[in-house]
């Protein structure tokens, strides 16, 4: 075999059509061997002798795409000093574009003895670990281009590749649960009919199956256990794991883009699958432990952990920052994804101890011409001190709005004293984001996500039911802000079922009329249940998978969700680019405020209404002629005006529509409750009796305000936003 010096950049294995360049960073290494593995598992070792700036590199003309490989790194094994080099462990390439196999929970993966943890173990791991794979970068993208939906027009659908597709009746058994299934015409048809503009895929970076779960007959379903930041997870491939997963992933993205649907990845850059000091040695730990991980300063044998997983990546070292940026850029430029949701993003901002919104990570994202132009979404918390940072991220970022989730849940389960905060969440959470110059798109609004109850379970269970997880039902969140509608779990009582359906509709409707960016959890649009399990991280089975066999209530929920998404898409009044201010807008063409909060009597809410802990009802008026900002083509926006009647109490309540100044020709568009038919017309001053736990949307055309003069200047109104 010919061995050439090669290049130190780019890192990883780069196939150029003739041969492959290999480059690996390790400052701790004293010697590095590249290990080529054949189909029989035989290993051929190539000594790497070229080193530049701590990057070990070699070019092998004979190595083609599909070649499996790994590294053995010789260097200090001194945990007290932070070093854990161990040449008995075959290591993954941190830049591997594809990974073959799955690691077992075998003694050979650990550098200590299971029976005697204080003793060193040097058993070879080659037969029990995963292998990196050289891939061909070539793919026919055709005319693929990013849909590039404006943020304020975006509706996100959080989905799991396997969970969404595993039980779909129109998908062949041989491809269910794969990237091919995710790009299947039946899945795309469902997404298109639903009206979502982006899918946010739960982790698809290569992850590891936790040994203790496998030993218990369970699996890591969610995938927040990353080991390969460049490699699509190989278990979601239907054709194999020798690079085929890359081609299948690209084809999935291409198919979704053809349907005008963006692809956002849920990414885990805060930790790796190697765990704490008792974890396996698979990659980073054996290459350069002190360079990749945050260690306890006074005890470097242990890891500083703000993620609850055993370790945290060291965000103040240039090589970790380079790894993350190279990974992000690769997924955008080579895999054509449209954005990222960052798991436990507060950890990424911890250069030292505190969360720092001016950290190096944010600096390099801000100046990067590729990454700064895609959708960036933070999960704005971690488990460390000061980790809850909703509203604390820089202007370029959007955030999962945990305050929105909690407040909307509380309002719709009739909790007292939340109406003030509820209106702030409904209006885009300006109290959280406006002070940093951000707009409503900073708020990713969600009521449910993968972590917690589904929307159906939120109205069907008071308590978590996680017994199947094998942790005595003690795992998962115990405070769910849920209400079971009178009966815990499944019920045949038609009144209970009707109330649950109505309340689920209320939650979905609220989500889709709120300013900001809505995110729907997969299956919520059709009443998916997890049987009350609010922590299905280890349930890779029917508990978590979407069941596509729908009963009448589920079909009704699906129709209602489709209708609400369509309503949002047709009316810019529900997806504004700037915050509502509760004032008459100069030049907007209306003498009414852009938003008004009204009591059930149709008059502006009083201080007593705002301060009453028992007030669980309100009317929201949105002025379609009060949108001052033009659309992106510079055209003035004039939309229908809307009234939202919300009754979160358990009783029938009379609502009086506001005076004729607000318009006369109000028509029912959508609602929950059986008392008013869609299309029914009302005039200002009319009274409607609305049942408990109901929501009604009425709209009137802008022509009703013709002749109203524009205000000469903005004037404050006694309304809150």
Q: Which residues are catalytic?
A: 343, 379
Residue 537 token pair = 């991280």
The secondary element (H helix, E strand) that includes residue 331 is helix 318-333
Residues near 189 by Cβ (< 8 Å), separated by ≥ 6?
A: none
Please identify which residue in the block is written with the tokens 């999960």: 379
Neighbours of 542 (CB within 10 A): 12
For residue 142, CA distances in Å to 145, 249, 250, 251, 331 come to 9, 15, 12, 11, 18
CB of 159 closer than 8 Å to CB of 196? no
Q: Which two tokens stand for residue 532?
A: 């009350």
- The 3-class secondary structure across 76-136, one letter per residue, is CEEHHHCEECCCCCCECCCCCCEEECCCCCCHHHCCECCCCCCCECCCCCCCCCCEEECCC
Q: For residue 426, which phi and psi values (nearest 5 degrees)?
A: -65, -35
**C-alpha torsion sign, points 345, 351, 357, 360:** negative
Cα atoms in the 13 Å half-sphere on the side-chain side of 486: 12
State the Cα torsion 161-162-165-167 to the nearest 10°: -170
SS3 617: strand
Count of CB atoms situated within 10 Å of the CB of 357: 15
Q: Which residues contact 580 (CB under 8 A, 6 or more apart)?
A: 427, 428, 430, 515, 594, 595, 622, 721
DSSP assignment of 641-661: EEEEEEE-SSS-EEEEPPPGG
CA distances from residue 149 to 185, 335, 367, 464 in whole angstroms, order as listed: 21, 18, 22, 37
Phi-psi region of 110 (alpha: psi -120 to 50; beta: other; left: phi over 0): beta
Gap between the Cα atoms of 597 and 367, Å rounded = 41
Give residue 361's Cα distance to chain centre.
19
d(CA 501, CA 505): 6
How many distinct helices (H) and strands (E) make up the chain?
15, 31
Q: Is the link from the previous residue into 10 a cis peptide, with omega within 30 of 0?
A: yes
In degrees, rounded to 5, the angle at the alpha carbon of residue 253 between the alpha carbons of residues 158 and 448 is 0
CB-CB contact of 193 with 562 (8 Å)? yes
* Residue environment code for 33-52, b if the CB has 16+ CB neighbours within 10 A, otherwise e: bbbbbeeeeebeebebebee
């Amino acid at each position: 075999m010919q061995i050439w010096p090669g290049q130190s950049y780019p890192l990883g294995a780069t196939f150029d059509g003739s041969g492959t360049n290999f480059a690996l960073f390790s400052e701790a290494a004293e010697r590095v061997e590249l290990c080529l593995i054949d189909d029989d598992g035989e290993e051929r070792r190539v000594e790497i002798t070229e080193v530049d700036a701590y990057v070990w590199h070699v070019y092998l003309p004979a190595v083609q795409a599909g070649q499996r490989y790994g590294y053995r790194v010789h260097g200090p094994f001194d945990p007290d000093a932070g070093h854990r080099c161990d040449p008995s462990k075959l290591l993954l390439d941190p830049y591997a574009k594809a990974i073959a196999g799955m690691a077992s929970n075998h003694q050979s993966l650990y550098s200590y003895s299971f029976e005697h943890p204080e003793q060193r173990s040097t058993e070879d791991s080659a037969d029990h670990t995963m292998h990196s794979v050289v891939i061909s970068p070539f793919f026919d993208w055709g005319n693929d281009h990013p849909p590039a939906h404006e943020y304020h027009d975006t509706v996100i659908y959080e989905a799991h590749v396997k969970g969404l597709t595993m039980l779909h009746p129109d998908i062949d058994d041989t491809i269910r649960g794969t990237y091919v299934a995710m790009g299947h015409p039946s899945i795309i048809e469902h997404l298109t009919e639903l009206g979502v503009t982006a899918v946010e895929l739960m982790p698809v970076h290569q992850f590891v199956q936790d040994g203790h779960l496998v030993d218990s007959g369970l699996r890591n379903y969610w995938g927040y256990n990353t080991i390969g930041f460049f490699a699509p997870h190989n278990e979601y491939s239907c054709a194999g794991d020798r690079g085929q997963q890359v081609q299948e992933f690209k084809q999935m993205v291409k198919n979704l883009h053809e349907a005008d649907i963006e692809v956002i990845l849920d990414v885990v850059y805060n930790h790796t699958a190697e765990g704490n000091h008792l974890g396996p040695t698979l990659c980073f730990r054996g290459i350069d432990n002190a360079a990749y991980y945050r260690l306890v300063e006074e005890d470097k044998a242990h890891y500083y952990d703000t993620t609850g997983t055993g370790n945290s990546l060291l965000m103040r070292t240039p090589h970790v920052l380079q790894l993350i940026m190279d990974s992000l850029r690769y997924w955008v430029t080579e895999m054509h994804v449209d954005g990222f949701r960052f798991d436990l993003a507060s950890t990424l901002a911890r250069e030292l101890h505190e969360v720092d919104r001016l950290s190096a990570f944010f600096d390099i994202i801000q100046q990067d011409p590729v990454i700064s132009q895609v959708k960036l979404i933070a999960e704005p918390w971690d488990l460390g001190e000061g980790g809850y940072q909703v509203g604390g991220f820089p202007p370029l970022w959007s955030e999962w709005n945990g305050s929105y989730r909690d407040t909307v849940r509380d309002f719709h389960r009739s909790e007292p004293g939340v109406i003030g905060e509820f209106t702030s969440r409904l209006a885009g959470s300006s109290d959280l984001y406006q002070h940093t110059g951000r707009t409503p798109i900073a708020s990713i609004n969600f009521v449910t996500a993968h972590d917690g109850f589904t929307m159906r379970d939120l109205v069907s269970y008071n308590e978590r039911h996680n017994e199947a997880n094998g942790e005595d039902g003690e795992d998962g969140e115990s405070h769910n802000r849920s209400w079971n509608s009178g009966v815990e779990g499944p019920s045949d009582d038609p009144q209970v079922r009707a109330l649950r359906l109505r309340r689920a509709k209320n939650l979905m409707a609220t989500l889709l009329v709120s300013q900001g960016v809505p995110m729907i959890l997969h299956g919520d649009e059709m009443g998916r249940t997890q049987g009350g399990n609010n922590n299905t991280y280890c349930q890779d089975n029917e508990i978590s998978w979407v069941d596509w066999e729908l009963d009448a209530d589920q079909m009704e929920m699906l129709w209602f969700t489709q209708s609400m998404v369509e309503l949002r898409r047709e009316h810019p009044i529900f997806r504004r680019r700037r915050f509502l201010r509760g004032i008459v807008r100069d030049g907007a063409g209306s003498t009414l405020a852009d938003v008004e909060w009204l009591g059930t009597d149709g008059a502006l809410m009083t201080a007593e209404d705002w301060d009453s802990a028992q007030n669980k009802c309100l009317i929201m008026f949105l002025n379609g002629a009060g949108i001052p900002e033009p659309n992106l083509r510079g055209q003035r926006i004039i939309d229908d005006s809307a009234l939202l009647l919300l009754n979160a109490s358990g009783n029938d309540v009379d609502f009086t529509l506001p005076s004729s100044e607000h318009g006369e020709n109000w028509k029912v568009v959508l609602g929950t409750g059986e008392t008013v038919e869609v299309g029914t017309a009302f005039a200002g001053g009319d009274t409607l009796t609305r049942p408990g736990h109901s929501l009604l949307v009425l709209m009137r055309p802008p022509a009703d305000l013709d002749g109203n003069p524009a205000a000469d200047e903005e004037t404050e109104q006694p309304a809150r936003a």
